[in-house]
Amino acid sequence: MLTRVKEHTRENIANISLSFFVVIALGSFCWAAGYSLMIPFFLLFLGVQMHLSHKASLKLFLRLGLLLALCVFAAHVVVRYSDIPFRYIPAAAVSILTMLLFNDLQLAFLMALAGSVLAGLILGSDFGLTATFFIGGLMGAYTVRGARTRGEIMGAGVFVSVAHIICLALLHPDYRAFLAKDFVVQYLYPSIANGLIAAFLVMGTLKVFEYLFGVVTNFSLLELSDFNQPLLKRMILEAPGTYHHSLVVSNLSEAAADSIGANALLTRVGAYYHDIGKLSKAEYFTENQMMGYNKHDDIEPNVSRLVIFNHVKEGMELARKYKLNPAIMDFIPQHHGTSLMHYFYQKALEEAQGDEKVDENDFRYPGPKPQSPETAIVLLADSVEGATRALDEPTPPKIEETVKKIVNNKFIDGQLDECHLTLKEINKVSLTFIRILGAMYHARVKYPEKKNGSGRTRSESKDARDGSSGRKSPEQDSPQSSSDYQDHEDDSPV
């Protein structure tokens, strides 16, 4: 604990030092280039406000500062080294990137404001231009919220251009100005092109900023959800039971995350990869065992414990080998938290001899506990899926009882202490699990079986209808057995 505090303190000191270095470097650049020193001063107080309001860490401030520095650099290049109109500067790209990278409207608003103010100061403190950049940036951020396709980014660029044209019309209410060639070249054309330039710039640099900042966007999540990904293909071939288990957990998790407003796509993809560590010894896990043979029956509980624990370690190693994003890697250790392996713990207690003591902590996962709502939901979904699958008769009352018992036990055990889920949200998650599992294990109509001496079958009835003409029914040549009826269970209306 003390070591973690010291590391956190050192990290904060390093971030503060780096922040002041960035501000000083920006101030030196502005002084040398002849720009207003209000630029670094403005950024400094913006960072202080974000830090004091607990809206952003120093690391995040540095990331946002890099985006703003690029905006300042772009404005500087246009002013000093080109003759193109200022309205070509794609200031909206800053807020669009912020929205895609961090999925936070408040941050996007601050970045739209900061980017437009900085660009306006460099371009001569033109209020009309600053306001245009600000409104265009907000429009772009609003449009790409939750975007999952590149077409939506292009659509955002179109909306930015529309916002610029509206601002241009409001700043120049005399429509005759739009008929002048110089006005069209200097104002109208740049306003139309601005949003499209910003959209292409975002698409070209988004992957770079994902890598630099260590974040994951919806676009990368959709790539990771492709079942042609090497890890998922290996799971299909080497651990089919774990693959199927992960699919069910992902469906449960996504629906639960959506019900409380968490990141449903991140939750689903994290559930796909949460058990990849089982690939190394797939046959030691129940879902992959064939013919009812359990390898743990032949080994001691302590050895079983090590094998089960190892799937978390193996999962992290595979994740690093295949370069998974840290946001996905978090699901691997956190989907168990510090939970107790009850089965092997009880088995060890039963096999303990004499005064031999069995330490409960030896049978707990190393953690950490879930740190976000998304990882906590996967922890709960993983537990309820396994418990429900083990039920002999998964009727709706039994499913509801099992889900509530599992969620309550996890809560009492402290596994949800660090994930910021409220009791109301936990209840919504439980209800979602009950609804989906109840639908998965719904009752089916039992088809009648032919019994000895129990009357006619359908083929006999048809033969009776056709008997007078001496015709032979096709069903008489291949009479249906009871197993044939079972092949049509999916036709059941229930």
CB 65 within 8 A of CB 47: yes
Token pair belonging to 375: 């990882």
Summarize pLDDT for 165-200 with one digit per residue, the tens: 999 999 888 888 888 888 888 889 999 999 999 999
Q: How would residue 367 be classed by pLDDT, with cut points 50, 70 and 90?
A: confident
Among the three residues 215, 235, 261, which one is the final residue of a domain in this structure?
A: 215
Q: In this model, does residue 465 exceed pLDDT 50?
A: no
pLDDT at 300: 72
- Asked, for residue 134, whether it belongs to a domain, the answer is yes
Residue 257 domain-assigned (yes or no) = yes
H/E/C letters for each residue in 411-480? HHCCCCCCCCCCHHHHHHHHHHHHHHHHHHCCCCCCCCCCCCCCCCCHHHHHHHHHHHHCCCCHHHHCCC
**CA pair distance 15, 339, nearest whole angstrom:** 34
pLDDT confidence of residue 446: 67
Q: What is the mean pLDDT of residues 361-389?
A: 91
CA distance 166 to 304: 68
Given this model, what pLDDT does residue 444 score?
66
Residue 468 has pLDDT above 50, yes or no: no
DSSP 180: S
Nearest to 218 by CA among 262, 266, 257: 266
Answer with the residue of higher pLDDT: 436 or 13.
Answer: 436
Q: How far apart are CA 267 and CA 101, in angstroms?
A: 17
User: Binning pLDDT at 50, 70 and 90, where does residue 358 land?
Assistant: confident
| Distance between CA atoms of residues 366 and 46, nearest Å | 39
228 and 188 housed in the same domain? no
First to last CA, the chain: 55
Q: Distance between CA 193 and CA 189 in Å, rounded?
A: 6
pTM: 0.79
Q: Which residues pair with 364 in a beta bridge?
A: 340
Distances (CA, A) of 73 to 29, 94, 424: 10, 12, 47
Could you tell me which residue, 164 or 441, shows the higher pLDDT?
A: 164
Q: Give the span between the Cα atoms of 489 and 483, in whole angstroms.
A: 11
Query: Where residue 19 falls among pLDDT bands split at 50, 70, 90?
Result: low
DSSP 23-73: HHHHHHHHHHHT--THHHHHHHHHHHHHHHTTS--HHHHHHHHHHHHHHHH
Average pLDDT over residues 457-463: 48
Share of the chain above pLDDT 70, in %: 82
Span 451-459, average pLDDT: 52
Same domain, 205 and 290: no
Residue 408 has pLDDT above 80, yes or no: yes
CB 250 within 8 A of CB 272: yes
pLDDT band at 35 (very low <50, low <70, confident <90, very high): confident
**What's the DSSP call for residue 369?**
P
Running DSSP on this structure, what letter comes out for residue 338?
Answer: T
Please report the pLDDT score of residue 469 as a whole number: 44
Rounded distance between C-alpha atoms, residue 379 and residue 222, angstroms: 22
Output the pLDDT for position 409: 92
Contact predicate 119/132, CB 8 Å: no
Helices 189-213, 150-171: inter-axial angle, 10-degree rounding: 140
Q: What is the residue whose two structure tokens read 């306006």?
A: 120
Looking at the structure, tell me whether residues 53 and 163 fall in a common domain: yes
Are the CB atoms for 325 and 214 separated by under 8 Å?
A: yes
Kindly report the CATH number assigned to the domain that includes residue 174.
1.10.1760.20
Whether 378 and 253 have beta carbons less than 8 Å apart is answered as yes
Transcribe 193-258 into DSSP letters.
HHHHHHHHHHHHHHHHHHHHHT---HHHHHHHT-TTSHHHHHHHHH-HHHHHHHHHHHHHHHHHHH
| Residue 451 covered by a domain | no
Number of domains, the chain: 3
Mean pLDDT of 274-285: 87
* Percent of all residues in the chain with a pLDDT value above 90, rounded to a whole number: 44
Average pLDDT value for residue range 412-421: 92
Each residue's pLDDT tens digit, 193-242: 999 999 999 999 999 999 888 899 999 999 999 999 999 999 999 999 99
- End of a domain among 200, 215, 230? 215
Query: 410-437 burial, b if ≥16 CB within 10 A, otherwise e?
Result: beeeebbebbebeeebbebbbebbbbbb
Are residues 198 and 326 located together in one domain of the fold? no
Q: How far is CA 201 from CA 90, 114, 157, 188, 205, in A?
A: 8, 19, 10, 20, 6
Same domain, 296 and 370: yes
51, 97 contact by CB (below 8 A): no
Query: Closest Cα to residue 235, out of 287, 290, 276?
Result: 276
Q: Check residues 458 and 355 and name the one with the higher pLDDT.
A: 355
| Residue 18 pLDDT | 62
Report the pLDDT value the prediction gives residue 451, as an integer from 0 to 100: 62
Q: Is residue 471 situated within a structural domain?
A: no
User: What is the mean predicted confidence (pLDDT) over 380-387?
Assistant: 92
- Mean pLDDT for 411-420 is 92
Query: How far apart are the C-alpha atoms of 417 and 300, rounded to whole Å?
Result: 33
When pLDDT is cut at 50, 70 and 90, the band that residue 473 belongs to is very low
- Looking at the fold, whether 170 and 308 belong to one and the same domain comes out as no
Q: How confident is the model at residue 489 (pLDDT cuts 50, 70, 90)?
A: very low
Q: Which amino acid is at 180?
A: A
Does 209 share its domain with 312?
no
CA distance 218 to 202: 14
24 in a structural domain = yes
Position 256 confidence tier, pLDDT thresholds 50, 70, 90: very high
- Same domain, residue pair 381 and 483: no
**Which SS3 state, helix, strand or coil, does residue 364 take?**
strand
Q: Which domain-ending residue is among 184, 199, 215?
A: 215
- Determine the average pLDDT of the residues in 367-391: 92
Instruction: Out of 64-78, 226-240, 412-426, pick the least confident.
Output: 64-78
Residue 294: per-residue pLDDT: 67
What confidence category does residue 9 fall into, taking pLDDT thresholds of 50, 70 and 90?
low
Question: Are residues 194 and 233 located together in one domain of the fold?
Answer: no
Same domain for 80 and 60 = yes
In a domain, 445, yes or no: no
In a domain, 36, yes or no: yes
Mean pLDDT of 38-45: 78
Examine the pLDDT at 121 and tell me if it is beyond 80: yes
* For residues 260-269, average pLDDT: 94
382: nearest Cα among 303, 304, 273, 235? 273
SS3 340: strand
Residue 490: inside a domain: yes
Supply the pLDDT for residue 55: 58
Question: Which of 8-12, 35-39, 293-297, 303-307 has the least mean pLDDT?
Answer: 8-12
pLDDT of the residue at 284: 80
Tell me which of 159-168, 429-438, 440-449 is least confident: 440-449
| 137 and 92 Cβ atoms separated by less than 8 Å | yes
Counted residue by residue, the chain has a size of: 494
Do 90 and 226 lie in one domain? The reply is no
Written as six digits, the tokens of 410 are 């996890």
Residue range of the domain that includes 494: 457-465+479-494
As a whole number, the mean pLDDT across the chain is: 82
How far apart CA 131 and CA 173 sit, in angstroms, is 16
Residues 75 and 177 placed together within one structural domain of the fold: yes
CATH of the domain at 253: 1.10.3210
Q: What is the pLDDT of residue 14?
A: 59
Q: So what's the pLDDT on residue 222?
A: 93
